[in-house]
Structure 1
Amino acid sequence: MSKNYVIGFPRIGEKRELKKVLEKYWAKQTDFNEVKYVAEQLKKRHWNYQKEAKIEFISSNDFSYYDNMLDTSILLGAIPKRFENLKDEELYFAMARGNETCVAMEMTKWFNTNYHYIVPEISKETSFKLNSKKVIEEYKEARELGIKTKINLIGAITYLGLSKSVDNSDIFLHINNIVEVYKNLLLEISELDDEVIVQFDEPLFVKDLDTKVLSLIKPVYDALTKVASNIKIAVTTYFEHSNEATRVLVNTPIWALGLDFIHGNKNLESLELIKNSNKVLIAGVIDGRNIWKSNFQDKVELLNKISKIINKENIIVATSCSLLHVPFTLKYEDNLDKEIKSWLSFANEKLQELSLVSKQFFDFKLNLDEIAVIRKNVEENNQRKISSKIHNIKIQDEIKNLKTFERADKFKDRIKVQREFFNYDFLTTTTIGSFPQTPEIRENRKNYKANLISKEVYEQEIKKYIDDCVAFQDEIGLDVLVHGEPERNDMVEYFGEMLDGFAFTQNAWVQSYGSRCVKPPVIYGDVNRENPMTVEWIKYAQSKTKKVMKGMLTGPVTILNWSFVRDDIPRSEVTRQIAFAICKEVNDLQNAGIKMIQVDEAAFKEGYPLRIENMKSYAQWAVDNFKLSVSSALIDTQIHTHMCYSEFNDIIKTIEAMDADVISIETARSGNRLLRIFKDVAYKQEIGPGIYDIHSPRVPSVEEMVLQIKSLLEVLPKEQLWINPDCGLKTRKWPEVKESLINMVKAVNIIKNEEIK
C-alpha cells in the first residue's frame, strides 16, 4: 500500500443522512437512538470508502453530530455554567442551539472557510477534566471493521486560541490544564493497540502568532510525546504556511508534521528544517477546499520537488486539509454538463486521486485501469484549458472599458436626502431579507424545475407567499418590508442560475454548521448578466404595500466566497465580473422604483487571507468590487449590506471603505462586544445590530429584547441604529418567526415611547 493520508472526511452523508435524522430528532419525530444508528452507519460507510480506495491513514474522531470544536469542549469538560444541569445529548445540542432557558454558545467561521464552529467559552473558573469516551469508542468501532485508524484531535493551542474569554482573563493560562487532560486521554489511547497515531490539528499555527503563543508549542508537544512510547503524534496545519511554528515543532519529539502545499506554498521554505530533524512530512498536495480535478502531472512534479530535499521514505502524500469542505461524490450528478463534470473531483473522487498520485510518486506498479485513469486525467485537464465554455470576449471588453467604479455622492450628502425621501426617524425596524422556506414553497419550486407544473401555477404560489409575507409585516408594524424570497433556493445559487459562467449540481452539499448544508455553485467561466434577476418579484411585492419594500441582492464577494471558483484566473477578476452584473441589477431596481436595496456581503470576512501580509491586497479588491456593484445607485437610493458572524475589529476600516449607507450585523450571540468597535472608530453610517439569534429556535421575550435594545443605545445613538434579527429567517419555522418579530416590534415601541416621554 502506498503511503497516503486523509486529514479528515465529510460526515453529513452522501445524501445528507445526518442532517435529515438530526432535524427529525429536533422536531421530536424520533428519539436519539435513531440518530446514533444513522451516525454508526455513516462512519462505517465512510471508513470503508477510504479503505476501498487504498488509503493507508484513515481518521476516527473526525465525525461529529454537530461540530468538532463543540466535541472538544465536551471532551475537555469545558461546559459553561448555564448548561451544567443538562446531560448527554440534551447538553450537547443546547450548547450548540440553545434551549428554552439557555442561550446557545457563539458560532463563528472556521478560519477563512464557510464552515462554522461553536466557540468555546473560557473564564478563570473554567475547570477541565476528561469528560467523554467518544474518542475511544470510535477507534474501537473502526477496529471492529478491521480498520486501524489514526485518531484526530483538536490541538490544545488551537482550541484555546479559537476560544473566547468571557471574563477578559488570559485564556492561555489554562494550557497546562488542557495538556493534563490530553495526557490522561493519551494514556487511555495507548491501551487500544500496539501502536496508535494521534493527529493533533493545529490550524492556528498558520496565522501570524505572537511570541507568547509560539513559546507554548515546544512545552506542549514535549509533554504529550512523553506520555506513551507506542503513540506517534502528528501535528497537522492547513489553509496557509506555518513556517514559524515548524521551526519549533522540528525540535520536539513528534513523529510527523502535516503541511498544506496547496494554500501554503511558502511551506516549501521549511523543508530543510524538516529534513534535518528527520521528521515525517505529511505533504498536503490534493486540494481539500476546491473541486477541480487534480492535474496528476503537476502533483507528482510538486512531490518530486519536495523529495529533492526530504527523503522519499519520510514523505506521506496527503489531502491539504479535511475533505469536509468539499461535496461528497460526483456519483449523483446526472444533470451536470458532461464536459464540466469531467473537470471536477469531490471527496470520494479525491480519494482515488490521492491513491493514484501517491502510487505514481512512490513508483508503485500500476494496473491497466489505473493507467487509463491517469491518461484520461491528462486529456481532461488539457481540454479544460481550451474549452469554448470558459471565455466570453464581450463581457471581458465591457469590463475593460468601465469608467465608473463608485457612487458619485458622499455618505453625508446621501443620508440627508435618503432620510427625507424615506421619512424615517430612529430605531427603524426591518428584517435581513428571507422568511421561512416552507415545505410547500420548496415543493412548488421543485415541481416547477421538474416541469411537473406550469409557470402560471408556480408563480401563483410564489405570489400567494409574498402576499401573506407582506401582509404579516404590515400587520405587525415593521417599518421596512421584504418580499421573503420564496422564489430563491439559496442566496448565491439563485443569482448564479441567471448568470453565465455558473454550473449547478444536484447533490453537492457541504456542511456549513450542524445540520445546515449549502450547495455552492461552480464558477467555471466568465460571468455575464443578460437579463434582470429580481426586478419583477420585488416590484410585485412593492405593489402590495405603501411601506418601503427593500430589494434583496447578494454581493459579489459573497457570491465568490460561497462558490467553488475557477482556478485559471485570479479571484479578483472573477469578482469584478460578478460585481458588474450586480451593478446592472441595482440600476434596474432603482429604475423600477425600488430605492432601498440590500447587497448582502455575508461572506466578506471569511475570504480574508490568514496572513497579515496578504490581507491588504484582498481588502482592496474586495472593497473595490463591492463599490463597483453599487456604483449605479443614485443619491436617493439607499444601499444596505449585511455581514454574518465576524470579528470586526481588524477590518473596521475596510467596512468604512465599503461606504454602504446601512450595515446590519450578527451580534446576538456576542452581546455588544462586536458593536463597540463601531463606536470606537466613530463610524458614521447607520447600523442594524441583530437583537436576536435566528440560529436558535428559541423565541426571546419582549422584556429581553427591550434590554437588548437599551444595551445597544449605551453604545450608539438612536438615530444611527436600525433594529432587526441578526440574519435571514429562511431556516426557521413560521410560528417562532412570527412570535419573535412581534416581540421585536413591541420592544421597539416600548423604547420609542420611553424616548418620547
Structure 2
Amino acid sequence: MTTTAEFPSGTILGYPRIGRRRELKKAVEAFWAGSITAAELETTAAQLRGATRERLAQLGLGRTDSAIPESFSFYDQVLDTAVTVGAVPARFAALVGADGRIDLAGYFTLARGEGDNLPLEMTKWFDSNYHYLVPEIGPETVFSLASDRIVREFVEAKEAGFITRPVIVGPLTFLLLSKASDEAPAGFEPLSRLDDLLPVYAALLDRLAAVGALWVQLDEPGLVSESSDVPREDTLQALAWAYAALGRLARRPAIFVAAPYGSLDDALPVLAATPVEAIGLDLVRGTVPEPTPGLADKVLVAGVIDGHNIWRGDLGAALDRAVALRELSPTVAVSTSTSLLHVPHDVADESSLGEPLSSWLAFADQKVGQVHTLARGLLLGAGAVEQELGAADAALATRQAAPGVRDGAVRGRAAALTDADFSRGEYAIRLKAQEAALGLPLLPTTTIGSFPQTPDIRRARARFLQGTVTEHEYRTLMQAEIARVVELQEEIGLDVLVHGEPERNDMVQYFAENLDGFAVTENGWVQSYGSRCTRPSILWGDVSRPKPITVEWSSYTQGLTAKPVKGMLTGPVTILAWSFVRDDQPLGETARQVALALRDEIGDLEAAGIGIVQVDEPALRELLPLKTKDHAEYLDWSVGSFRLATAGVADTTQIHTHLCYSEFGVVLEAIANLDADVTSIEAARSRMDVVHDIEAGGFDHGIGPGVWDIHSPRVPGVAEITELLETAVGAIPARQVWVNPDCGLKTRGYAETVESLQNMLEATRIVRERIGAAVNA
C-alpha cells in the first residue's frame, strides 16, 4: 500500500493552459499549418508548463508538496486520456505505431479528422462552455498504457525543482463520457469495459509512484451528473469496484478524487468507503454534506473558490464552509471548485475595465491568491487573514451599491409582463403565411450566419479600434465584404442568405458591446475547444438596449438581393452561458432582461423589412442542470426567455434558432417549446444521430440538421452530404427539412467554404430530384 504524503493546505484543480497571450493556440495552429515542427511545438509547450509552475509558486502554492496540478493539454484532457489508455477508433488504426503509441500529428488527427475519416465527436463538458472530444469504446477496443506523457511531464517538473500533482480524467468519468464505437453491438455500454481499463490506470499509477509522484488527481465529475444513460445504481457499483481496486495497489501515489460541477450526493458514501486518501467537494455548486461513515479518515478538499466564474465573492462565507467540513474530518484543505481553465489568467492584464469593476473580479491568478488566503485562515484562524477578508467584504458592498447594478426602468418593465408576451399564434397558421411570403423551394438551403473572417477583416476592425481608420472608412470596408458574401451566396445558389457578420468579433461580445450592463475584456481569453479561444463578456448589471444594434447591417444586405436575408441575433440563454454572469440574482431574472432587449431588436428588424430573424441558442443544452430535480425550473426560464424575445412578431415573420454542441434527445421537448419556426442543429459530426430522436418525438416545425461539420478542416464530398441528407429526409418529412452546415463559418477559410457549400448545393439538388421522381412515379 502507499505511504500517504501530507496533502497541501491549499491547491487548485487546474489552471489555464493556453498561455497568457494564447501562446499555445498560436503554436498549435502554426504546427497545423506546417510552419513549425513537432519538436518546436513541444518546446513551446514545455516553456508554458514551466512558466505556469513558477507563476503558481509565486502566488503561494508550494513547490514540493503536490499543491501545483500538472494539468496541461495540447487540445483536450479527455482526448489525452483516450490516447493514454490506447482508445483509438479503428478508422484511425494507421496512426498507431508498432509500439502502440500515437505521435503528436496523429493526436491532432483524432481531433480534426483526415480525408474520409471523421474526427471524434465534440460536445460540452458538463454545464460549462468547454468542449471535450468523445471517446469511442467497443468490445474491440484494446486498452494499454499507450502514452507516458503524463509521467514525462511530472519528471520534467521534478527536474525543475517541483513535485507536482499529475491530473487525469478518472476511469468512471472517462467511460461514462464515451460513446459506443461503430463496431459495438446495439445496446453496448462503454462502462462494461471497466475491468479491462482499470489495469491501465494501475500501470500508470505504478509508473508515477516509481518516478516520485506523491499524489495523483483523478477527475470524476461524472459522479455528480445524472445525465448519463447508465443507471445510477450501476455507476455507484462501478465506483465502489474501481476505487477499491486502485486503492489496494501495492505501489501508487495517494489518490485525490475530485468531483467538480455539483454535489456527490449518493456517490459520497460509496467513495468514502474506498481506500482513496482525499475527496474534493464542490462547495460552490454543492453544500457541506451530512456526516458520512469513512469521511473522518479522508482529506476533505473544500472547493470553496468558484472556478467557473470571475467574481471576487464573499471570502468570509467561503472560509466558513471550509471550517464546517472539520465536523466531518479533522483534515481539510482549500481549493477551487473546478479547474481554472474556465476563467482568464489575470485581472491585472485588463487596462480598460476600470474601477470599481476591477475590484469586484478574480481571474485565475487572483483565485490562486484567494486559495492561499483561505488556506492560511483555515490553519491559523480568521484573524490571521482579517485584512484580506475585510477587503473582499468592502468590494462586495461597493458592487451591491454601484449605479447600474439595479435599474428601476428595466425591472419595472420585466415586472409588468403578462402571459401574452410569451406566446405567438398557431404554428400552422404561421407556416401558411410564411410559405406565401417567402416562396422557398423544398429543402431550402442556407448557412448558420457567419462567413470566414479573413485577416483583412480582422485588421480593419483592429485599425478601427485603434483609431487609424474612421468610422466611415470602416463601414465602407465592411459593406464591401458583405456585398462580396452576398454575391458569393447567390453564385453558389443558396435560397436564404446572410450578411456574413464581418463586423462582429464574437457572437456574444458583439452584443455585449452594444447593451448596457456589460463590460468586455482585452485579454480575458478562455479555451473553448482545442485552439479555439473566446473572451467571455462580463454581465455585471441590469441589461437594456440603448439603440438598434444590427438593423443597419441587415437592411443594407437585404438591399443587395431579391432573396430573403436572415437577421442574425444571439439568444438570451447563449448570451448568459457564454458570458461571466452576475451571481447576485437568479439566472432567470437576468435572462428575461436580455430577452426584452432582443425583443426590441427583433421588432426593429421586422419594421425594416427583414422577414426572417435567427435567434441563436447553441447553449440551450449546455446550461441544463446536472441534477434532474433542477431541470424543470431551468427549462421554464430558458425557454420562456427565448419566447419572450421572439413572440412579438407577425405571423409572416419567420423565426429561426440554431443549436449545437449538444445531445438533443434530452431537451427535444424544450426545443419544441421554443416554438421557433425553423431550428437548425449540429448533426454531421454525430452522423445524423439526432434525426431519430426527432422522428420519435414527433417534431413538426422546420428542422435543419447540419450536413457539414465545420469544426473540422475536412471538405465533405457530395456523396457524404447526400447520404446525410437522405438519412434526414428518411426520418423527417421532407417539407420540414432545411439544408445547412452544422454551425457558423467564421473559423473556416474561403476555399474550403466555397467547395463545401457547392457540394452541399449539389447534394441538395440530387435529393430534390430523387424526391420529385418518387412523387411523380
Scaled by the length of structure 1, what TM-score is found?
0.97
- When residues 589 and 139 of structure 1 are mapped into structure 2, their CA distance, relative to the original with a 3 A threshold, is same
Question: Secondary structure of 1:722's partner?
Answer: coil
Distance, in Å, in 2 between the alignment partners of 1:737 and 1:140 is 44
Question: Secondary structure of 1:307's partner?
Answer: helix
Distance, in Å, in 1 between the alignment partners of 2:313 and 2:585 is 16
Alignment of 1:536-555 (within 5 A): 536-555=552-571
**Is residue 219 of structure 2 the alignment partner of residue 210 of structure 1?**
no
Letter in 2 for 1:37: T
- When residues 464 and 122 of structure 1 are mapped into structure 2, their CA distance, relative to the original with a 3 A threshold, is same
Question: Secondary structure of 1:141's partner?
Answer: helix
Distance, in Å, in 1 between the alignment partners of 2:273 and 2:386 is 41
Contact 2:713 2:748 in 1 (8 A): yes
Contact 1:272 1:310 in 2 (8 A): no
**Is residue 88 of structure 2 the alignment partner of residue 79 of structure 1?**
yes
Question: Secondary structure of 1:723's partner?
Answer: coil
For structure 2, list consecutive stretches of 5 or more residues without a partner in the other structure.
1-6, 96-101
Query: What's the offset of the Cα at 1:137?
Result: 0.3
In structure 2, the partner of 1:498 is 514
In structure 2, the partner of 1:602 is 618
Q: C-alpha offsets along residues 538-583 of structure 1, whole Å, 9 cap, x if unaligned?
A: 0000011100101100000110111101111111100000000011
Contact 1:327 1:346 in 2 (8 A): yes
**Is residue 122 of structure 2 the alignment partner of residue 94 of structure 1?**
no
In structure 1, the partner of 2:395 is 380
Query: What's the offset of the Cα at 1:300?
Result: 1.7
In structure 2, the partner of 1:42 is 48
Q: C-alpha offsets along residues 437-484 of structure 1, whole Å, 9 cap, x if unaligned?
A: 111111111111221110111001100100000000001100000000
Question: Secondary structure of 2:380's partner?
Answer: coil
Contact 1:294 1:353 in 2 (8 A): no
Distance, in Å, in 1 between the alignment partners of 2:319 and 2:289 is 19
Q: How many equivalent pairs are there?
A: 749
- In the alignment, which of 660, 664, 680 is matched to residue 664 of structure 1? 680
- When residues 560 and 360 of structure 1 are mapped into structure 2, their CA distance, relative to the original with a 3 A threshold, is same
Question: Secondary structure of 1:616's partner?
Answer: helix
Distance, in Å, in 2 between the alignment partners of 1:625 and 1:226 is 51
Distance, in Å, in 2 between the alignment partners of 1:408 and 1:561 is 25
**Is residue 310 of structure 2 the alignment partner of residue 288 of structure 1?**
no
- When residues 294 and 751 of structure 1 are mapped into structure 2, their CA distance, relative to the original with a 3 A threshold, is same
Q: C-alpha offsets along residues 322-378 of structure 1, whole Å, 9 cap, x if unaligned?
A: 0011111112100112210110010011111110111112117999xx765444323
- In the alignment, which of 175, 188, 195 is matched to residue 160 of structure 1? 175
Distance, in Å, in 2 between the alignment partners of 1:335 and 1:131 is 47
- When residues 439 and 271 of structure 1 are mapped into structure 2, their CA distance, relative to the original with a 3 A threshold, is farther
Distance, in Å, in 2 between the alignment partners of 1:648 and 1:747 is 25
Query: What's the offset of the Cα at 1:656?
Result: 0.9
In structure 1, the partner of 2:144 is 129
In structure 2, the partner of 1:240 is 262
- In the alignment, which of 428, 451, 454 is matched to residue 438 of structure 1? 454
Alignment of 1:524-543 (within 5 A): 524-543=540-559
**Is residue 473 of structure 2 the alignment partner of residue 451 of structure 1?**
no
Letter in 1 for 2:289: E
Distance, in Å, in 1 between the alignment partners of 2:246 and 2:628 is 31
Contact 1:190 1:228 in 2 (8 A): no
Q: C-alpha offsets along residues 690-735 of structure 1, whole Å, 9 cap, x if unaligned?
A: 0010001111111221222112122112111100000000001111
Distance, in Å, in 2 between the alignment partners of 1:297 and 1:173 is 45
**Is residue 155 of structure 2 the alignment partner of residue 146 of structure 1?**
no
Alignment of 1:231-630 (within 5 A): 231-265=253-287, 268-275=288-295, 277-311=296-330, 314-363=331-380, 373-403=388-418, 404-630=420-646
Distance, in Å, in 2 between the alignment partners of 1:342 and 1:603 is 29
In structure 2, the partner of 1:682 is 698
Contact 1:60 1:142 in 2 (8 A): no
Letter in 1 for 2:84: L
In structure 1, the partner of 2:196 is 177
Question: Secondary structure of 2:268's partner?
Answer: helix
Quick check: 378-387 or 632-641, which moved more? Answer: 378-387
Quick check: 548-557 or 95-104, which moved more? Answer: 95-104
Distance, in Å, in 1 between the alignment partners of 2:204 and 2:354 is 49
Query: What's the offset of the Cα at 1:50?
Result: 1.3
In structure 1, the partner of 2:99 is none
Alignment of 1:22-33 (within 5 A): 22-33=28-39
Distance, in Å, in 1 between the alignment partners of 2:737 and 2:370 is 52
Letter in 1 for 2:243: Y
Quick check: 599-608 or 743-752, which moved more? Answer: 743-752
In structure 2, the partner of 1:224 is 246
Q: C-alpha offsets along residues 509-541 of structure 1, whole Å, 9 cap, x if unaligned?
A: 110000000111000000011211100000000
Distance, in Å, in 2 between the alignment partners of 1:392 and 1:444 is 36
Q: Percent identity?
A: 40
Contact 1:60 1:139 in 2 (8 A): no
In structure 1, the partner of 2:740 is 724
In structure 2, the partner of 1:69 is 78
Letter in 2 for 1:146: G
Distance, in Å, in 2 between the alignment partners of 1:431 and 1:486 is 15
Distance, in Å, in 1 between the alignment partners of 2:441 and 2:463 is 44
Distance, in Å, in 2 between the alignment partners of 1:365 and 1:285 is 15
Distance, in Å, in 2 between the alignment partners of 1:744 and 1:270 is 57
**RMSD across aligned C-alpha pairs, in angstroms?**
1.6
Distance, in Å, in 2 between the alignment partners of 1:399 and 1:173 is 50
Q: C-alpha offsets along residues 400-436 of structure 1, whole Å, 9 cap, x if unaligned?
A: 1223422331111111111111111311100000000
Contact 1:130 1:184 in 2 (8 A): yes
Query: What's the offset of the Cα at 1:272?
Result: 3.8
Letter in 1 for 2:266: E
Letter in 2 for 1:416: K
Contact 1:430 1:724 in 2 (8 A): yes
Contact 1:434 1:728 in 2 (8 A): yes
Contact 2:684 2:708 in 1 (8 A): yes
- When residues 304 and 535 of structure 1 are mapped into structure 2, their CA distance, relative to the original with a 3 A threshold, is same
Distance, in Å, in 2 between the alignment partners of 1:720 and 1:273 is 56
Query: What's the offset of the Cα at 1:381?
Result: 1.8
Distance, in Å, in 2 between the alignment partners of 1:142 and 1:406 is 56
For structure 1, list consecutive stretches of 5 or more residues without a partner in the other structure.
none
Contact 2:123 2:133 in 1 (8 A): yes
Alignment of 1:669-748 (within 5 A): 669-748=685-764
Runs of 4+ in 1 over 3 A off after TM superposition: 56-61, 270-275, 364-367, 370-375
- In the alignment, which of 201, 211, 226 is matched to residue 219 of structure 2? 201
Quick check: 99-108 or 373-382, which moved more? Answer: 373-382
Distance, in Å, in 2 between the alignment partners of 1:105 and 1:332 is 35
In structure 1, the partner of 2:211 is 192
Query: What's the offset of the Cα at 1:141?
Result: 0.8
Query: What's the offset of the Cα at 1:229?
Result: 4.6
Query: What's the offset of the Cα at 1:310?
Result: 3.0
Contact 1:325 1:510 in 2 (8 A): yes
Quick check: 222-231 or 629-638, which moved more? Answer: 222-231
- When residues 366 and 137 of structure 1 are mapped into structure 2, their CA distance, relative to the original with a 3 A threshold, is farther
- When residues 52 and 418 of structure 1 are mapped into structure 2, their CA distance, relative to the original with a 3 A threshold, is same
